[in-house]
Amino acid sequence: MSAQQVSRRSVARGAAWSVPLVAVGVAAPAFAASPGAGATVTVLGGCRCGTGGGTVKPYRLDVTFTNSSTFTFAITDPTITVSGTAGDNVDLQASPAQTNLVPPSPPDKVLRYTFTRGSNPSADQVIFTYTSTNMTTGVATSGTITADVTWGNCTTSCQ
């Protein structure tokens, strides 16, 4: 039996078809490295900033963000909902003035928010909502975390 010979043209045609497949196979991992889901909250903690004079009590909520992507995210539109605050005006402020940018982790980034309220409980269920926007792509995602927070006395300044 004689061996059938393959023409150079057949080899070239086969190589031409395989090159795009190799290119697509190599490019796929780059698409897999997506911008990520954004910076996410991993820990909520807080403290009472003091007893406050009169009917208004100052509190601080420490929000720990983790960013496992390679992008920087801006945190905007924070809201704090605290249990047991019906008729207990929660006045949210970002204090002190801070840059609400979360670079790639590690380390995690802690953002501090202060608020005032009329009552003085030692613990609450806290719901924190926010928007996390990729500073490179502009893609925004919203996030919510619910946690039980014990309000001890602050050992560091609330300012």
- Cα 8 to Cα 29: distance, rounded to the nearest angstrom: 33
- Report pLDDT digits (tens) over 108-151: 998 888 877 777 778 888 888 889 999 999 999 999 999 999 98
Q: Is residue 94 part of a domain?
A: yes
Residue bearing the bigger pLDDT, 61 or 15:
61
Dihedrals φ, ψ of 156, to 5°? Answer: -120, 165
Q: Is residue 20 part of a domain?
A: no
- Binned at pLDDT 50, 70 and 90, residue 34 comes out as very low
pTM flag (> 0.85): no
- Report pLDDT digits (tens) over 39-57: 888 888 998 887 555 666 7
Which pLDDT score is estimated for 99?
67
Q: What is the count of structural domains for the chain?
A: 1
Which pLDDT score is estimated for 136?
93
Q: Is residue 27 part of a domain?
A: no
Is residue 35 within 8 Å of residue 85, measured between CB atoms?
no
DSSP, residue by residue, 120-139: --SEEEEEEEEEEEETTT--
> Which residues span the domain enclosing 75?
40-153
- Report pLDDT digits (tens) over 64-108: 999 999 999 999 888 888 876 554 555 555 554 566 899 998 889
Q: Is residue 8 part of a domain?
A: no
Q: What is the three-class DSSP state of 63?
A: strand
Residue 13: CA atoms inside 13 Å, Cβ hemisphere, count? Answer: 5
Q: Is residue 68 part of a domain?
A: yes
Between the alpha carbon of residue 33 and those of residues 87, 142, 146, the distances in Å are 47, 20, 29
Q: Is residue 146 part of a domain?
A: yes
With residues binned 3-state (H G I as helix, E B as strand, rest as coil), the percentages for the chain, rounded to 5, are 15, 45, 40
- The single-letter code of the amino acid at 42 is T
Q: Is residue 89 part of a domain?
A: yes
Q: Write the CATH number for 133.
A: 2.60.40
Q: Is residue 31 part of a domain?
A: no
